[in-house]
Every structure is written in C-alpha cells, then in structure tokens.
C-alpha cells in the first residue's frame, strides 16, 4: 500500500536530466493524491515554461509509479501556476547547483 | 494524462537534425573553398565569384540552414506555440537545399542563368519558411523573443529578395552603380537583421533556461532589439543616400544595441542558479564580446596600418567570429540534447541508460573550440595585414577543426 509520503520518496528517483537533481528537491512537485485504488495523481510544474524535457520527466514518473504499484493507472498533471521560483528548491538542491546560493 | 513522446514528437527531432547536419557539411565545403581562395580576400577583393560562393554556402548553406532546423524545434519551445503547417517542412527543406547548392555552384562557375534560376529556388524555399514561421508565431505572447524572431524573419525575407535582385542583375544588368549599394544593404540585412536579431531573440529564452536563471532585470533585452532594428534602418538610409555620416551613426546605434544585449546577458548570468553551465552555452555567449573586441582591435589595426577600415576582415569576423561561432556553441548543446531526448527520453533514469551529460565530451570540445577561436583570430589578423599565405595556412587549420567538430557532432548520433 502506498501513501503520500511513500510517493514522495518514489519521486526522488526521478531526476531532471538537465540539472541532475531529483524533482522533489527541485521543488517541482506541487501535490500528490493517492486514491483508494492505489492510483496516483502528481501535480507538478517545470523550471521553465515550454521545457523540452517535460515528456521525459513525465515518462520517468509513470515508470517509477508503475514499478511501485504494479499498474499504470496514474496521472501526471502539469501546471504553470504558481510559477516555479528558486525558493521552492531544497537546500540540498541549491548546494548541488551552487554551494548553497 | 500525459503520455510518452508521440511519433510526432520523435519526428520533431529528425527534422531539425536533417537541417543541422546538412548545414554542418556545407560549412566544411565552404571553408575548403575559402582556403583555396582566401588570397583574394587578403588582397581586399571580396567580390571574386569563388568567395561569393563560399560566403553564400556559409550564410545560406550553413547558418540559415541550421537556423531553419533549429527554429522548427526552438520556436515552439520558446514561444509555446505549435507549428502551424508541419507538412510544409520537408518539402521546404528540399526546395531550399536544392536552391542553395545550385546557387553556390552557379557562383563558382559564374553561370548567370544558374545563379538566377537557383536564386529563385532559394528565395522560394525561404518564402515558404518565413510564411510558416510567421503563421506559427502570430498567436504567441508579445515580448522580446517574439519581436526578435518576427524582425529576424522579416529581414531574412528582405535579404533574399535583395539577393535575388542582385542575382538578376548579373543575368541581365539593370542596376548600374546601385548594385554595390544594394550589396551592402544585402549584407547588413543578412548579418545584423536576420542572424543577429534571431540569435538575440532566441537567446532570451535559451540562456536563462540552460543556466537556470530567474528574477533578473529584463529591460535591456527589448531595448537591444529596438536599437539594433533602428540602427539597421538608419545605416540603410545612409547607404542609399550615400551619406557616410548617417551610415556611421546607424552603425553606432547598432553597436549600442549589441552592448545592451551584452548587459542583458550579464544580468541573466549574474542571477543564474547553475554555477557551472555547459561549454556550448559558454561559447555562444562568449561569441559577442569576442567579436566586438576583435572588430575594434582589428579595425583600429587596419586603420593605423593602411589608413582604411579593413572591411573584408571585419565582414569575415562578423560571419565567422560572431554568427558561426554562436551557432557552433548552441549546436554543441542542442544536438546532444535533442538526440538524447529522442533516443533515451522514454527510458530516462532506468538502468544502463546514459545520462544527458554523457552524450558529449566537454574536455575534447574545449580543444576544438580553442582551435576554432584561435584560427579565427589568426585568419582575421592575416587578412588585415594582407598576408595571404598566412591566412591560407590558418584557414586550413580552421577547416580541419571544423571537420573535427562536425565528426564530433555526428558521433553523438552513434551513442
């Protein structure tokens, strides 16, 4: 059985290919909903509107969720509001990019 | 529900690649022609047919070809619109490629019929492209990216129409002394209007995206576009009225526009979150200060030595030191990025799948860029001093570095 916390841990395996940092530490995950049938809805954004890697990241999320739940009945919803800002990153992400700037 | 890349997305990657690799191969050919004929350029004779062919292969066969392919990919990303007439893309490529090849060969043998016919074909290919892009960007949000791209497309159209006018004059002379005047306007529209405004417009999206820069002051961006645009027209009027003061004023306004762009890029970099950004982006951003410093230094050197502005060397610097170097820089980033997305995007993060940074060897890339940039400096200096043999030696070095760069890019597709 998975819950929001477990899904968050799973999403830490999804790495932004350009930045080399997971999407949770990047602050891209806005919301997680786990339904009774163990299907998951992830609400997320990207660092740049129109980012060409959005398909790649979404595919990776679906892959990780499928590995964890055994099925593909999940949704990734891409939103642009609120707009992503660097303050949403974790300290670990900031340090990985620039030593804590 | 968001799905894995569709066949249309995968097709998206093949399209720019065809344009890009055609462009890179034609660049090498152009540089070989230049290597054989650079002596004429060193003697201040840029109008020799072989040099015209090399220039057109570089500007149309390489720079515009690559720009077209890149725009099919980048404009939808940068302006968040979809291509309006996808079915036009491959026919447009064929039309344009045939036109450019025929035109370049026509210039080599200086067959005026060929120049006229393939010139018309080239212009047709450009018109189809401009129509497609203008339709695509029409509904995009207003801003400096859209302005830059729109103006660039307008100047592309004007450049090729002027080029056709000049080509037809070779076929059936009718312009008289206006030929030289329009030739200067043609170069100005092409190098500054089309290439520079396009590079500047798209870099307002690419530079912040690849350096992860946010919350920077952005007023210098639109200002740079307006200044360069205004400067182009002032310079053009100066050319047409044969008023040197006016054309120099226009050039000064264009220079101011370049400086504003430099300030804007500095603000983007100062606010970046990614400390170490990729080699390709570093090179493409370096191209502007590099070209401006070289233009000033060599311009002054030529004036001191010969009491004249070394126009062939300066035009060489603008075409190779600015336009081509920027493109080489961005391609070093874009080609691995596109290829990785196409080949591994669906399996990202799984065992055995290469990382994006594994697609390109930056250490080796540094050497290629150092040799390319070093060659450009030495070639330009040789042109100013009129040392043909030295210019030729360094141009051969540049040819070899360009071939190595092209092979390096092609090797990405084997990963």
Tens digits of per-residue pLDDT, B14-25? 899 999 999 999
Any alpha helices (H) in B139-243, and if so which ranges?
144-171, 178-188, 197-211, 220-240
Confidence of residue B161 (pLDDT cuts 50, 70, 90): very high
CB contact set of B135 (below 8 Å; sequence gap of 6+): B84, B85
Beta bridge partners of A40: A34
Q: Above 70 in pLDDT, residue A12?
A: yes
Same domain, yes or no: B243 and B215? yes
Cis amide prior to A82 (ω within 30 degrees): yes
pLDDT (mean) for A92-98: 88
Same domain, yes or no: B47 and B178? no
Same domain, yes or no: B292 and B414? yes
Residues of chain B in contact with residue A97, where contact means CB-CB under 8 angstroms, are 212, 273-275
Same domain, yes or no: B73 and B100? yes
Same domain, yes or no: B337 and B305? yes
Task: List chain A domain ranges.
Answer: 4-93
Strand order, beta sheet including A29-34:
A29-34, A40-44, A75-78
Same domain, yes or no: B86 and B112? yes
Confidence of residue B189 (pLDDT cuts 50, 70, 90): very high
Report yes or no on B219 lying in a domain: yes
Same domain, yes or no: B201 and B290? no
Judge contact between B283 and B369, C-beta under 8 A: yes
Q: What kind and span of H or E run contains A78?
A: strand A75-78
Q: Tell me which of A21, A51, A52 to substitute to probe the interface with B (most B C-beta atoms closer than 10 Å).
A: A52
pLDDT (mean) for A49-69: 88
pLDDT (mean) for B217-228: 94
Residues of chain A in contact with residue B80, where contact means CB-CB under 8 angstroms, are 49-50
Same domain, yes or no: B284 and B259? no
Same domain, yes or no: B271 and B286? no
**Which of B140, B163, B197 is the endpoint of a domain?**
B140
Residues of chain B in contact with residue A13, where contact means CB-CB under 8 angstroms, are 349
Report yes or no on B5 lying in a domain: yes
CA distance B29 to B314: 22
CB atoms within 10 A of CB B266: 14
pLDDT at B306: 80
Instruction: Count A/B contacts: CB-CB distance under 8 Å.
Output: 86
Same domain, yes or no: B185 and B221? yes
CATH topology of domain A4-93: GMP Synthetase; Chain A, domain 3 (3.30.300)
**Which of B275, B299, B322 is the endpoint of a domain?**
B275
Report yes or no on B342 lying in a domain: yes
pLDDT at B311: 83
Q: Above 50 in pLDDT, residue B10?
A: no
With CA atoms as reference, the chain A residue closest to B343 would be A56
Tens digits of per-residue pLDDT, B328-384? 999 999 999 999 988 888 887 677 788 888 888 889 999 999 999 999 999 999 998
Chain-chain contact of A56 with B337 (C-beta, under 8 angstroms): no
Angle at A79 between CA A75 and CA A82, to 5 degrees: 140
Average pLDDT, chain A: 90
Confidence of residue B303 (pLDDT cuts 50, 70, 90): confident
More confident: B66 or B415: B66
Average pLDDT, chain B: 90
Judge contact between B246 and B234, C-beta under 8 A: yes
Tens digits of per-residue pLDDT, B43-77? 877 778 899 899 999 999 999 999 999 999 989 88
pLDDT at B94: 97
With CA atoms as reference, the chain A residue closest to B344 would be A56
Chain-chain contact of A48 with B80 (C-beta, under 8 angstroms): no
More confident: B154 or B302: B154
Chain-chain contact of B341 with A57 (C-beta, under 8 angstroms): no
The alpha-carbon gap from B80 to the nearest alpha carbon of chain A, in Å, equals 6
Confirm or reject contact between B9 and chain A (CB < 8 A): yes
Q: What kind and span of H or E run contains A34?
A: strand A29-34
Q: Above 70 in pLDDT, residue B222?
A: yes
The alpha-carbon gap from A48 to the nearest alpha carbon of chain B, in Å, equals 6
Same domain, yes or no: B294 and B354? yes
pLDDT (mean) for B227-231: 97
Same domain, yes or no: B255 and B292? no
Confirm or reject contact between B275 and chain A (CB < 8 A): yes
- For chain A, counts of helices (H) and of strands (E): 3, 3
Chain-chain contact of A56 with B348 (C-beta, under 8 angstroms): yes
Report yes or no on B128 lying in a domain: yes
Q: How many domains does chain B have?
A: 3
Three-class DSSP category at B241: coil
The alpha-carbon gap from B90 to the nearest alpha carbon of chain A, in Å, equals 22
Unique residue bearing structure tokens 């997680």: A32
CB contact set of B412 (below 8 Å; sequence gap of 6+): B335, B336, B339, B359, B360
With CA atoms as reference, the chain A residue closest to B356 would be A17
CA–centroid distance for B30 within its chain: 14
**Domain limits at B180?**
173-275
Judge contact between B304 and B378, C-beta under 8 A: no
Chain-chain contact of A15 with B349 (C-beta, under 8 angstroms): yes
Looking at the partner chain, which of B275, B350, B355 has a beta carbon nearest the beta carbon of A17?
B355
């Amino acid at each position: 059985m998975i819950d929001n916390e477990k899904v968050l841990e799973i999403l830490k395996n999804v790495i932004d290919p350009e930045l080399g940092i997971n999407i949770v530490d990047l602050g891209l995950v806005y919301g997680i909903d786990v339904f009774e049938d163990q299907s998951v809805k992830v609400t997320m954004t990207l660092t740049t509107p129109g980012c060409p890697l959005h398909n790649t990241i979404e595919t990776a999320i679906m892959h990780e969720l499928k590995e964890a739940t055994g099925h593909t009945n999940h949704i990734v919803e891409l939103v642009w509001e609120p707009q992503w800002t660097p303050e949403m990153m974790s300290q670990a992400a900031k340090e990985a990019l620039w030593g804590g700037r | 529900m968001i799905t894995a890349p569709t066949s249309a997305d995968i097709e998206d990657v093949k399209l720019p690649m065809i344009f890009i690799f055609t462009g890179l191969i034609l660049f090498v050919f152009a540089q070989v022609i230049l290597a054989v004929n650079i002596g004429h350029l060193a003697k201040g004779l840029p109008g020799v047919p072989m040099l015209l062919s090399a220039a057109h292969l570089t500007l149309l066969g390489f720079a515009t070809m690559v720009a077209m392919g890149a725009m099919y990919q980048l404009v939808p990303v940068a302006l968040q619109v979809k291509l309006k007439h996808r079915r036009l893309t491959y026919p447009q490529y064929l039309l344009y490629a045939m036109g450019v090849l025929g035109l370049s060969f026509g210039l080599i043998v200086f067959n005026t019929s060929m120049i006229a016919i393939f010139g018309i074909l080239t212009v047709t290919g450009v018109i189809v492209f401009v129509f497609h892009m203008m339709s695509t960007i029409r509904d995009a949000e207003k801003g400096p990216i859209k302005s830059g791209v729109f103006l660039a497309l307008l100047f592309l159209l004007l450049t090729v129409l002027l080029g056709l006018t000049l080509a037809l004059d070779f076929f059936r002379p009718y312009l008289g002394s206006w030929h030289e005047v329009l030739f200067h306007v043609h170069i100005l529209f092409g190098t500054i209007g089309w290439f520079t405004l396009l590079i500047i417009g798209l870099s307002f999206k690419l530079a912040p995206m690849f350096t992860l820069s946010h919350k920077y002051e952005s007023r210098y961006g639109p200002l740079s576009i307006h200044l360069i645009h205004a400067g182009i027209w002032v310079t053009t009027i100066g050319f047409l009225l044969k008023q040197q003061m006016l054309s120099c004023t226009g050039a000064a306004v264009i220079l101011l526009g370049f400086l504003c762009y430099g300030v804007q890029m500095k603000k983007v970099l100062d606010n970046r979150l990614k400390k170490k950004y990729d080699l390709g982006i570093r090179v493409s951003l370096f191209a502007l200060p590099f070209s401006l410093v070289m233009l000033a230094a060599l311009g002054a050197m030529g004036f001191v030595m010969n009491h004249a502005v070394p126009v062939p060397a300066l035009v060489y610097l603008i075409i190779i030191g600015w336009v081509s170097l920027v493109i080489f820089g961005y391609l070093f980033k874009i080609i691995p990025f596109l290829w990785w997305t196409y080949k591994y995007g669906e399996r990202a993060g799984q065992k055995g799948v290469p990382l994006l940074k594994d697609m390109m060897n930056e250490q080796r890339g540094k050497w290629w860029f150092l040799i390319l940039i070093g060659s450009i400096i030495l070639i330009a200096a040789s042109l100013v001093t009129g040392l043909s043999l030295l210019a030729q030696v360094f141009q051969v070095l540049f040819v070899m570095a360009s071939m190595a760069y092209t092979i390096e890019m092609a090797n990405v597709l084997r990963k």
